[in-house]
């Protein structure tokens, strides 16, 4: 059975878009945004909370960033935060800062900033600028060859249908300098965004992508076999209605992808995002270029009962003993969105 825990709840503010990292000593660090509302970014700030008991209890939230207060639409606001436990023992957080009304505009600022911690999240330095242009960044992917990959998406201005593009920047010196952008996925027919890059044991890179037409289309993926220099696809992955996939490799070798499920249709009062799912799949399925060649088991993580439901941006880690811990934002029984945690095991997907 999946266990659920409250990570952070403040009924006066909207808590959303979390991610989580696991330190070598076993501490969980959850990062998230607090704001006025999903559709109102007049106040935004990036927050942190920690757990030393495997996510059962959490410290009071504390700020990572300075607050931003949007007075006019062209002012900037903080958006989605991600966090990575690096191989060198450091933690790195990335946050996009964007301008525009509501969630932002593709014609305004779309910058990305880094914070670093060398003491397991106790203190942080930053924000440090990057050349990455785009929104909803993937977490910094710490590749086995020593490079970092940071990806984000944008919509190219121009006549309709406009091109949606996911791009990646590489760093070979731990974020001090970055390469020119590489196109990971681009389409005028599909609205591809919010990529999650997974490095497989054979060296292949797979980027799983949200399709943003709000019609319930599958997850899409692109594949690189040359270290990210060139990418092929997009290919369909049999994960219907997949928004904001978060992919990683389990200790067993299986692949876990947590995601929002959005079926499309007329929608529902509020944000009509009611379900958070988790998909269990295989390396061979990730590399399959035909939908019918991929195997996936999908199970629900949570359902948002609120008439103003909003949920489904996730992050997850796996403890050395195999337990999986997922973080998610959800409204459910709160007046504003809260951050919730889930403890589960691979046996919840398949018995061995």
Q: How far is CA 326 from the centre of its chain?
A: 12
* Residue 64 · residue 120 · CB < 8 Å: no
- The arrangement of strands across the sheet holding 205-211 comes to 192-199, 205-211, 218-224, 232-240
What residue ranges define each of the domains in the chain, with the CATH number in brackets? Answer: 3-348 (2.120.10.10)
Other Cβ atoms closer than 10 A to 101: 14
From CA 304, how far away is CA 272, in angstroms rounded?
Answer: 9
Q: Cα separations (Å) of 307 from 63, 300, 312, 336?
A: 30, 19, 16, 12
Could you report the per-residue pLDDT of 198-238, keeping only the tens digit for each? 999 999 999 999 999 999 999 999 999 999 999 999 999 99
286 phi, psi to nearest 5 deg: -65, -30
What are 178-186's contacts with CB under 8 Å, separation 24+?
A: 178/130, 178/131, 178/132, 178/150, 181/132, 181/133, 182/228, 182/229, 182/231, 183/231, 184/151, 184/222, 184/224, 184/228, 184/231, 185/209, 185/220, 185/222, 185/231, 185/233, 185/234
pLDDT at 102 over 80: no
pLDDT at 7 over 80: yes
Pinpoint the alpha helices (H) of the chain. 283-287
Euclidean distance between the first and final Cα of the chain, in Å?
16
Name which of 91-105, 141-155, 202-216 the model is least confident about: 91-105
Could you report the per-residue pLDDT of 241-293, keeping only the tens digit for each? 999 999 999 999 999 999 999 999 887 766 679 999 999 999 999 999 999 99
């Amino acid at each position: 059975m999946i266990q659920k825990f409250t990570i952070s709840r403040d009924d006066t503010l909207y808590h959303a878009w979390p991610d989580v990292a696991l330190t070598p000593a076993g501490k969980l660090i959850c990062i998230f945004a607090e704001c006025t509302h999903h559709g109102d970014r007049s106040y935004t700030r990036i927050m942190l909370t920690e757990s030393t008991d495997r996510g059962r209890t959490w410290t009071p939230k504390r700020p990572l960033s300075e607050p931003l207060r949007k007075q006019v639409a062209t002012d900037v606001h903080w958006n989605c935060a991600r966090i990575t436990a690096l191989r060198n023992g450091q933690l790195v957080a990335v946050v996009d800062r964007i301008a525009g009304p509501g969630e932002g505009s593709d014609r305004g600022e779309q910058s990305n900033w880094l914070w670093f911690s060398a003491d397991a999240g106790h203190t942080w330095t930053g924000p440090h600028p990057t050349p990455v242009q785009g929104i909803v960044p993937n977490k910094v992917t710490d590749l086995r060859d020593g490079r970092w990959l940071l990806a984000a998406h944008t919509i190219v201005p121009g006549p309709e249908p406009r091109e949606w593009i996911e791009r990646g920047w590489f760093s070979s010196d731990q974020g001090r300098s970055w390469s020119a952008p590489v196109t990971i996925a681009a389409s005028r027919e599909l609205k591809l965004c919010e990529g999650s890059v997974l490095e497989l044991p054979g060296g292949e890179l797979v980027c799983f992508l949200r399709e943003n037409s709000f019609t319930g289309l599958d997850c899409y993926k692109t594949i690189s076999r040359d270290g990210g220099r060139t990418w092929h696809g997009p290919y369909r992955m049999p994960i219907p209605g997949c928004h904001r996939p978060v992919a990683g490799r389990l200790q067993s070798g299986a692949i876990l992808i947590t995601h929002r499920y959005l079926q499309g249709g007329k929608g529902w009062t509020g944000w009509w995002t009611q379900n958070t799912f988790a998909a269990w799949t295989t390396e061979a399925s990730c590399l399959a270029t035909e939908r019918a060649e991929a195997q996936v088991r999908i199970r629900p993580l949570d359902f948002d009962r609120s008439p103003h439901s909003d949920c489904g941006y996730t992050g997850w880690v796996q403890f050395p003993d195999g337990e999986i811990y997922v973080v998610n934002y959800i409204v459910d029984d709160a007046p504003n969105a809260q951050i919730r945690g889930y403890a589960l095991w691979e046996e919840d997907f398949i018995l061995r």
